[in-house]
Structure 1
Amino acid sequence: MRRFSCKQNSDFLTHLDPVTLNANISSETQFIIAASANVGKLKEHPPSSYSLKIHNFSQFKKSTAFSDHKYKSRIFSSGGYNWRMIIYPKGNQKDNGIGFISMYVEIDTASLMVFTPPSDVFAELRFFVYNKKENKYLTIQDIEVKRFNALKTVWGLQQVLPCDTFINPDNGYIFEGDQCEFGVDVIVCPPLTNWEILSFTEKFSDSKFSWAIKKFSELKENVQTSKSFSMGGKKWFLKLYPKGNSSANGKCLSIFLYLTDCDKPKADEKIFVQANFRVLDPLGSNHFRYPLEKWYTEQTPAWGWAQFLSLAGLPKRYLDKEDTLKVEVELKVVSATKYSST
């Protein structure tokens, strides 16, 4: 068993925990995960972001001695950003990679400067090494999303395969003389575009609205409508049915709290309301109270009660000497939602 690892240092920013690999490669070969963020196995699917095929690996390895022992690929695009794949054929000695093939991905810093301030780019990485013997790709997937930015431009694996395993033709990574293939997939996580922020207002400068309905006993209209009032960032009004609405059968007072047209919830919007409704006792000792806790939506821009208060005892208990009925609504909580446009 051979051990793979990857760590973070000042030269390359990596983050891979130890994993082990069975040296006897087969079609079912896969990494044995030991508290690791990496998953590796042989797969048929080739890389889709970038592939580097090398004809004469021995000469390739020698040539990197003149470029800090690494080879940087041509720039390729993925997810709207430019990248390079970096190969260390003898391993990255600055990152504990000696004796292994080391592979990294570097983001082109010019891609980061498109936004002000420079943006963070989150990407998933998959590294590939072709195995001709199995006609599959050794694929190492890091399940942790990597964060690229101006300070952290490189992420990767410092110990992909032991060099001895890689260069042995019997294992299938070197084939047809001295050929090999490396690859990478860079899957860029798109920026967040759909969101909502839900908040609740619990403190109001004036949380109560009072409405005095004069000459209540003489009202002829079926419904009374209050003036509009602002509270909790919304505009509201009350509707009161002195003899009850169609559901009250003339036996109960009906009352409802409406949002004005300009503040009605739009499609898929909702507003939570917690309120207290009161019919005030003129003597101030026995108010009739009922709580409301409801979500207002496009389909239900009003809530209340068809059978709020029995009309039988209303005149005696709740009308003052001037035949005035006083109604009060107190808002306790009103929600608000900010959301992305679609």
Structure 2
Amino acid sequence: MGSNSSTAASTEVSTIVKHWREHPPSSYSLKIHNFSELEKSTALSDHKYQSRLFTYGGYNLRLIIYPKGNGEDNVRGFISMYVEIDSKSLMLFTSPTEIFAELRFFVYNKKENKYFTIQSQCEFGVDVIVAPSLTNWEVLSFTKKYFDPKFSWTIKDFSELKEDVQKSNSFPMGGKEWVLALYPKGALEAHGKWLSIFLCLADSDKPEADEKIFVQARLGVLNPLGSYHFEYPLETWYTEQSPGWGWAQFLPLAELPKVYLDKEDALKVEIEFKVVSETKYSFTEADPLEKDWVQLTPEN
């Protein structure tokens, strides 16, 4: 675990206190099912996982985890954990902009049935805090086994299609509704040369703010015999800003009539899912620091 000067107003640390305790964290909890899958999925993006924003002390915060260590801090062989304040929270306040916070980082040890804590301290004093029940948490899991992991889509009279885009019926997978979007003449710069295909979340299941969904699948075009002849692996995170992902240059259009269209001018597309992540959340608007907070300050 480490500290990151780019995400903190002050990094003056005089002592680090480590100990065990049985009581769970009271501010926020992030539980991850199948940590190895998180390592793989974050390695495909920015090597970190950011929790959803939660409110504490009047500020919006998030927990950031680097499963294999934060390379920007030259950390290898350790898990890096940070707390980051949302810059929009600071806009609500006037000077001073420096914020004092005492941080305790927790890692649950299943064998000991206790929480290992690392506490950063930068001044002497005492805060008496009555810890409330945990109400802000998220659980990230990676579903890997499906009763029917495949979805097949047949586009008839392919050569006669006039519309720029064709969309499949929506289909469920991993607790979400999905659609395939196919551009028979190509999308954007690929128009007239390439077949374009995208996997998108259905309009009814677009990601919420801060929501992230990891998908690992393979998307292919079948030849008339029904076997895979051309496919791409798909591994990406879906977010509010990126609810769809795919390839503008999936397959040259010139190859379709030679290999992939059957005698009835139909094209068959198939996707097989391997992993879809799911995150469960619990949040409360109440600020725990507005209750049960007593600060003892020595007189000068």
Q: What is the TM-score of this pair, normalised by structure 2?
A: 0.52
SS for the counterpart of 1:217 is helix
Instruction: Pick the aligned partner of 2:147 from 205, 209, 212.
Output: 205
How far apart, in 1, do the equivalents of 2:266 and 2:22 lie?
Answer: 69
What's 1:255 paired with? 197
1:204 alignment partner AA: Y
SS for the counterpart of 2:270 is strand
Deviations 1:73-99 (A, max 9, x none): xxxxxxxxxxxxxxxxxxxxxxxxxxx
Pick the structure with more strand per residue: 1
Contact 2:213–2:239 at 8 Å: present in 1 too? Answer: yes
What's 2:276 paired with? 334
Contact 2:220–2:228 at 8 Å: present in 1 too? Answer: no
How far apart, in 1, do the equivalents of 2:22 and 2:181 lie?
Answer: 57
Change in 2 beyond 3 A, CA 1:312/1:188: same
Contact 2:221–2:228 at 8 Å: present in 1 too? Answer: no
How far apart, in 1, do the equivalents of 2:234 and 2:149 lie?
Answer: 14
SS for the counterpart of 2:190 is coil
Aligned positions of 1:1-342 closer than 5 A: 186-284=128-226, 287-342=229-284
How far apart, in 2, do the equivalents of 1:146 and 1:336 lie?
Answer: 28
Change in 2 beyond 3 A, CA 1:143/1:276: closer
Higher relative contact order (CA 8 A, sep 6+): 2
How far apart, in 2, do the equivalents of 1:191 and 1:260 lie?
Answer: 36
Give the percent of matched residue pairs that are identical in Structure 1 and Structure 2: 70
Change in 2 beyond 3 A, CA 1:142/1:196: closer
The alpha carbon displacement at 1:314 in A equals: 1.3
1:292 alignment partner AA: L
Q: What is the TM-score of this pair, normalised by structure 1?
A: 0.45
Deviations 1:146-182 (A, max 9, x none): 86xxxxxxxxxxxxxxxxxxxxxxxxxxxxxxxxxxx
The alpha carbon displacement at 1:260 in A equals: 1.1
The alpha carbon displacement at 1:188 in A equals: 2.6
The alpha carbon displacement at 1:283 in A equals: 2.9
How far apart, in 1, do the equivalents of 2:19 and 2:228 lie?
Answer: 65
How far apart, in 2, do the equivalents of 1:142 and 1:288 lie?
Answer: 54
Determine which structure has more spread, i.e. the larger CA radius of gyration: 1
The alpha carbon displacement at 1:341 in A equals: 2.1
How far apart, in 2, do the equivalents of 1:310 and 1:290 lie?
Answer: 14
Give the root-mean-square deviation of aligned CA atoms: 2.4
Change in 2 beyond 3 A, CA 1:186/1:308: same
